[in-house]
Every structure is written in C-alpha cells, then in structure tokens.
Structure 1
C-alpha cells in the first residue's frame, strides 16, 4: 500500500471522489485501514432505507416487488449491524412508491420505531421526505443533529412543524416544495421560531401577514421564499404605509440580516405586487426583493423583476426608496429626510463592522 494512503485525510478525500457504490463496497473489504473511510463514503447518502434494513438477519426480512418488510421484531443482537452502519448516514431521502425503486413498507417503519434500541441515525444532518403515506414516521429520522429538512409533495405541514420544534434544535434550513405549501399564520410558526432562532433559510411557503412579522425577528434568517396568490384571502394583507415608517424601522427592526426575499405569483398585477413589496420592505428593509411573475410556485430559476437590477447597497435600499418616492403623497413631510439619515447610519455601521457582503455600499 502506498504510504500516502496511510494518511486518513488523503484516503478519505480519494474515496470521497468515488461515486460507484459497488467500488466503495469492495474498497471497504480490501483491508482494515480502508474499512472505516470507505464506509463513511458508502453510507453517507442514502436514497432510501432499503439497504440499511437489509443488514438485518435474512430470516426476519421479506422482499417482494422491490418492497422490503420486517416480518418480526429483531432481538437486540440482530440490530448490531443496522445500528453500526446507521451512524455513517448523514443525508437521507425518503420517497414514496410512486417514485419507483426499492423501499421499505409501513410495517418495517413501525417495527423500527417500536423496537430499535437507542437513537436511530444519530448523525443525520440532511433529510428530504416525500412519502405522504408514511409521514407519521418522519420524526423517527429527525435527530437533534438535523440541520436541513426538505418536504416534497403534500405533507401535513402543522404536524411536521410540531415535530421539528421537539426534535431538531439545530435546524437551519426548512424547505417545502410542490403542494406541501399550506398557508401558515403566526400562531403556527411562533413556537417553531422560538425554538429555532438560528434558522437561516425558509423556502417555498405561503404565509399570512402575522407570520411575516414573526419571521422578521429571527436573528439569523438570510433567505425567505414566499408564494403569493391574489385571490386567496389568507395571503398577505396589504397595509398602508404609516407616516412614521422610518422611525418605526429604526426602533423595531435594527440591522435585519435578511438578504434575499423571493416573491412568486402568477396573477398579481404590478400595482398589487408593489403594495405587497411596500409591506414587506417595512419588515425587511435590507432584503433584495426578487419577484417571479411567471409562476405561482417557487423554483430554482426565477426571473428578475424590478428590484433586482440595482447592485449591492443600492439594491438593498433601492426598493425602499422607490416606494417612498412613489408614495410620497401618503407620507408626512420630512419622512424622506429621516429615511436618508437612517440609511447613512446603516451604511456607516456596515462599514464599521467590515461586512464583506456589502463591498459596494455607498450613499444614494
């Protein structure tokens, strides 16, 4: 064996570049020195629990039409290989039968939930869940180490949030895709936010206005993606711009960290979008507002509309000052001057702190 392979960091980096699971499996069998690094790469990302459950004794399992079930509860000794390899899993995807491939059935989940000794997948960090039929077992794979949760398909959102609050104190990124975006209000999010003030990303959700207020107070939230529907009475209720807007902004929302706020809508007229942006700009004065008018669902490819054309510091303040100028008839005299003063304070504070994300910060 080449002496470079005796260095764990070098060996792990080499094996990390191997995509083929079969090659990693055979590498783990080469020698004792390869076993641990190869297993780390082999079990890091699982697209289902099929292969992990398949480590149980054969007489306890039945495989029919690529669906694996556990026939009877394993003894504590039977769980040994399952538990040993489960500690390597950091990224897990759970897909429903409609996605095809191999998977385990509900009975297998039930037996694991009731009979597995100790923590299940204790080092899991990223979970993507789309099986609506097995959503009651989602908490089984939400350990305290989880930092990313992605829900795909129609998953009962309230139930997920209840478990998120209880099980995942380190969660930073929460994403709901497709039809899972139920409308959330402040009451549903309040407990989750209190337990997860370290959230940095919340994507593809539909929120009521009181929920926005709660989210505006999360100290580390930097990305928020929201879907809006014009004819839905539970969407953001547009509120008039108060005459003391600038003063309230300074007192209630100092140095909000949100950098990106994405809006998606298909039927919002430009004026309506502008009014919604007015409301959101008050809550998130530093966010880059990006609107996708082509779809009522959020996607990774969004068209830039309006506000995103202005770079850096001008972009963070551009939407706010455009709104002030266009609605100046509604504002009391002196508000623009107060807002400019507030802008200078923020830019000076960012310059003092040396924040790298605002290299072009300048007065407008």
Structure 2
C-alpha cells in the first residue's frame, strides 16, 4: 500500500485500541488442512460448481492479520476514489486529501477494530484485481470466544464456519463471471469511475465544489466515501449490488447447513446459537466493513432473505434449479425476487438452459 493517500498506519493504531490482538493464540482444536479439504469436497458435491482455479488454503490467523488483509483490499478500492475526489481543488488538493486520508484511515481502523473482534471467518476477495488469489481466513481468537460464549463444540463450530467460507471460495472460483461482475458494479458505484467522455474525448472526472479542507474531511467523517463523488441517482445500482451480495451470503448459509448436516450432529444448536449472536451484533456480517466504508446499508434481513430464497427454491424445485442463478448475471435474482422466490422460479423456467 506504498504511496496510498489513506493512512493505514493510523488505521491499525486505532484498530489496535478497539480490537486488540496482542498475545493471541492461533491454535485450533482440529486438523485445519483436513477440515478444509473435506469442506471443499462437500461444497463442490452439493453445489455442482467446479473450481476453475485452485481453492485457497485455509489459514488460522489472529485479529491483526485479518485487519491487514482488509486494509490491502480496501486500499485498492478506495485510494483511487479519494484521489479523484480531490480533483479541482487546486492548491488545496494536497492538504485536503492528506486530511481526508487520515480521517478515512481512522474510520477504517475504528470499523475494522470493532468488527475484527467478531468475525469468525472470511474469504478475502480483491474485486479490483480479478486474477488475485483468494485467501480463506479463520480468525482463531474469535472462534474460541464464540464457542465459549455460545456453549457449542469448538471443533464443530470450526468445521461449520469452514464450510461457509469454502462455499464463498467455490462461488468465486467456480463462477468465472462472478468476481468481474460484482467488481464492475462496485467500480461503477464508487465513482462513475472516470465518467462519460467530454467534448474533447477525454473522461470527465467528477469534481468537488468544496472550498476547504474541513469540507472534504466532513464528507469523509459523515460515513460514506460515496458522498464525495456519487449522488442519490445510484439507487438502482445499489439494489443490484445488494441483491447479488445477499445471494452470495444466503447461498453460503444454505450450503453450510445442507453440506454440513452429515458431519455436524449439533447443527440445529449451532444455527440457533449463531442466530442469537447475529441479533446481538445488530446484523454483523463479513461484508459490514465494505458496507460501512462505502455507505451501503445492507441489513441482516437481506442476508436472511438470501438464505430463505435458497431454502425455498430447493424445497419448491431442487438444488440444480437453485444453481441456475450462477449460470449468468441475467439469471441472478433481484431484491424483489429474493423476497418472492416464485417470481424468480417462473422467470428461470422461461429462460433457455
């Protein structure tokens, strides 16, 4: 992240105060390599999705390592946006972006510090780098704390979470258009990125009509980088992003139960305990950092809608029909279809195989 205008050093100092990480144990009560290999086999068998690139090796990490992975991913996404936001500020551009970068770093640190105390696992996907390898991260101190707090078997919890995260890995390696499709949507969202060509044929970069450093900083502090470059007309685009992210999460929730059932005798207890934990966390998910930094408002209800959609489609049709959603971007369910799966089933039935 050399040369970034976002102060990630400050981010980690802030995150360290809120999220800790010193003296953590990274030991898990399982053979993680064997657990991950078994999870991959079960997910592929259930979904029918065939990875086209190698699946990531599961990594047992602490909170600082999880935070560092997210800093790298979000720097690639947000640094260009911040740079474009300063276009047109003239001599104020340098100090304005320096101040905004520090505030954005502090905001990111606060968010990652808090979320890093709760996230159990995450597949690290660089949307801006389609060829970047995935990483499958299991946050060991949080898994230990969750197993103790929820009074569930630690080994079963690790296996269950690994199935969930391996499902994401299979999604992004088995659906070749998924990462570029989602990346293109986000790319469009976070800037109009270069804008339409102007009269001289060169891209029109959105410019800020902000008079001083405090105005730029205030926009960042308000909680949405998009406030710097985007307007309210992006509602339809936000809906499309929310729909695909809800399906990605809901599908993983469905698969972790379906594929995990044969090897998780306490599955019902695990699911009930996780539901209680999420309610207490006001709808936490691994996407929450993305949502917070970009000003999205993905609600827990929408993730629940994603799982209910998958459960309903399998109940009303079958697993193969559900996985037609991954055949092409045009077959992804809309937000409305996630709530009413019958509408999506009708549309897919009319679509050519």
Greater fraction of residues in strand:
1
Q: Report the structure, 1 or 2, having the larger helix content.
A: 2
What TM-score does the superposition give when structure 2 sets the normalisation length? Answer: 0.23
State TM-score, norm by structure 1: 0.23
Larger Rg: 1
| Greater RCO, 1 or 2 (C-alpha within 8 Å, sep 6+) | 2
